[in-house]
Structure 1
Amino acid sequence: MYWLEGIPADFENNFITDNRYTYIFKGLGITFEVTIFAALLGIALGIVVALIRSSYATLKEEMHGGFGKGLLKFLNAVAGIYLTVIRGTPVVVQLMITYFVIFASSNNKVLVAVLAFGINSGAYVAEIIRSGIESIDKGQFEAGRSLGFGYVRTMAFIIIPQAFKAVLPALANEFIVLIKETSVSGYIGLQELTKGGDIIRSRTYSAFLPLIAVAAIYLVIVMIFSKLVSLLERRLKNSER
């Protein structure tokens, strides 16, 4: 166990000397910033895409031609392409395309990361919400229409609230996945948590403690949010009794 004797000195060299621990804390803050705003963008985009796809599936037989059906069909096709491309390509490639191609002239790496991860997350959120909408009994649509609600009001006041309740745990898990996915932001030079640990490694030429510290922080974050998700699931189950 002689190697343990060197850990205090390595700890001081990696984290205390030149206040290198600040790379970790600064990176953690950027990780949360990117994750939160990307999650909000992903939820907004996911709701729109899910509503387009579920509305097309529900109304395509009822609509008899015209501009409305043509527009809905076009939007559904665009949504389908979006889901296929985003879910079929690695997030790191999407991030690099967003930064080096689409926003090549921008220096705002946080904004680019938010857009890239938000658009990526939106594809998965869309399928989660769509599955939630489809899980609602069709009789709920009929009940809404019997109350004089149109399709839009039925979705807004009856279907969507029930669907959100059903998919909240899945959305929370998507947030956990998103936190871990932001670890590839270093590919565009963004100093998030993983990049902060890598900077320390490049300064000290010691990889063990910086990377273990980064892994431990991610683990603690995921464990906390996983516990919150399990509590949420339990509360939702109790409310259904």
Structure 2
Amino acid sequence: MNWDFDFITNGQMVYFLQGAKWTLIISLASVVLGVIFGSLLTLLKRSKIKIFKFVSSAYVEIVRGTPLLLQIFIVYFGLSNVLNINELLAVIIALSLNSSAYVSELIRAGIEAVDKGQMEAARSLGMTEAMAMRKIVIPQAIKNILPAIGNEFVAIIKESSMASTLGVAELMYAANVVSTKSFNKTETLIMSAVFYFVMTFSLGRLIKYIERRMKVSDTN
């Protein structure tokens, strides 16, 4: 087998660089919105109002029980005629809604990992439950879930490849464009794999560094 990577030197690498840029933009936007929506889901799930708990729990189960690609299609074909959204926005919305279901579970687990005695101690000092959550529980829960949120970011980077099915010019779409121009399908896929690895590996190292820094700050 003779591999041909001439596209690296003939100016077509710009497609991969642009694709990687859009992959990171899509992933970052989706994670940020996923954390916001996930936090709201957690509040609803912890609510004393049963209908809120039911709706949030049902949403999480439905999202986690259906394929992401199906969710992207539902958002795009379901909302494009109503709200006139483009493919990029549809992908970001779908990834955000998908991520929020997983992030809400991470936040819930982070809150539950905080010793319940701290809430009781805060209440005994005259704090309301909301104040104790805001000042005592949530800051500790954030420390617990930050590494997991980072891992969710890594997962979203890989899952964003499904945006190519709608023609969004992210990394996989770029690989398809270059393979069409160069007729080197395997080589362009290998190059896109290198880009994904560099992004996810670098982010993984950053997450490990943050974890170590957090452990050091906890011991001081």
State whether TM-score is above 0.5.
Answer: yes
The verdict on how the C-alpha distance between 1:202 and 1:226 changes in structure 2, with shifts beyond 3 A counting, is same
Is it true that 1:180 corresponds to 2:142 in the alignment? no
Q: Is the 8 A contact 1:96 1:187 kept in 2?
A: no
2:96 aligns with 118
- TM-score (norm: length of structure 1): 0.85
Query: Over residues 147-176 of structure 1, what are the superposed CA-to-partner deviations in whole Å (9 max), with x where a residue is unaligned?
Result: 221111111111111001011111111111
Structure 1 residue identity aligned to 2:18: K
| Matches of 2:54 and 2:217, distance apart in 1 | 38
Displacement after TM superposition at 1:228 (Å): 1.0
Displacement after TM superposition at 1:49 (Å): 1.1
| Matches of 2:201 and 2:189, distance apart in 1 | 18
Kindly report structure 1 stretches of 4+ aligned residues shifted beyond 6 Å: none
Structure 2 residue identity aligned to 1:156: R
Secondary structure of the residue that 1:191 maps to in structure 2?
coil
Q: Is the 8 A contact 2:79 2:85 kept in 1?
A: no
- Among 166, 179, 182, the alignment partner of 1:204 is 182
1:69 aligns with none
Is it true that 1:145 corresponds to 2:139 in the alignment? no
2:5 aligns with 11
Q: Is the 8 A contact 1:51 1:130 kept in 2?
A: no
1:39 aligns with 31
| Matches of 2:62 and 2:97, distance apart in 1 | 11
Displacement after TM superposition at 1:127 (Å): 0.2
Within 5 Å, give how 1:78-157 maps onto structure 2: 78-104=55-81, 106=84, 108-157=86-135
Query: Over residues 99-157 of structure 1, what are the superposed CA-to-partner deviations in whole Å (9 max), with x where a residue is unaligned?
Result: 12222463522211111000100000000010000111111111221222111111111
Contiguous gaps of at least 5 residues in structure 1: 61-71
| Matches of 2:77 and 2:85, distance apart in 1 | 11
Structure with higher Rg: it is 1
1:160 aligns with 138
Q: Is the 8 A contact 1:197 1:210 kept in 2?
A: yes
1:28 aligns with 20
| Matches of 1:29 and 1:226, distance apart in 2 | 18
Structure 2 residue identity aligned to 1:36: L
Query: Over residues 1-51 of structure 1, what are the superposed CA-to-partner deviations in whole Å (9 max), with x where a residue is unaligned?
Result: x83xxx5xx333x3444x322221221111111111111100001111112
Query: Over residues 194-220 of structure 1, what are the superposed CA-to-partner deviations in whole Å (9 max), with x where a residue is unaligned?
Result: 110011112222112211110001001
Q: Is the 8 A contact 2:154 2:200 kept in 1?
A: yes
Q: Is the 8 A contact 2:31 2:156 kept in 1?
A: yes
Contiguous gaps of at least 5 residues in structure 2: none
Higher mean C-alpha displacement, 95-104 vs 85-94: 95-104
Q: Is the 8 A contact 2:80 2:86 kept in 1?
A: no
Q: How many pairs are equivalent?
A: 218
CA RMSD of aligned residues (A): 1.6
Structure 2 residue identity aligned to 1:32: L
| Matches of 2:78 and 2:165, distance apart in 1 | 14
| Matches of 1:78 and 1:206, distance apart in 2 | 48
Q: Is the 8 A contact 1:144 1:154 kept in 2?
A: yes
Structure 1 residue identity aligned to 2:137: I
Secondary structure of the residue that 2:5 maps to in structure 1?
helix
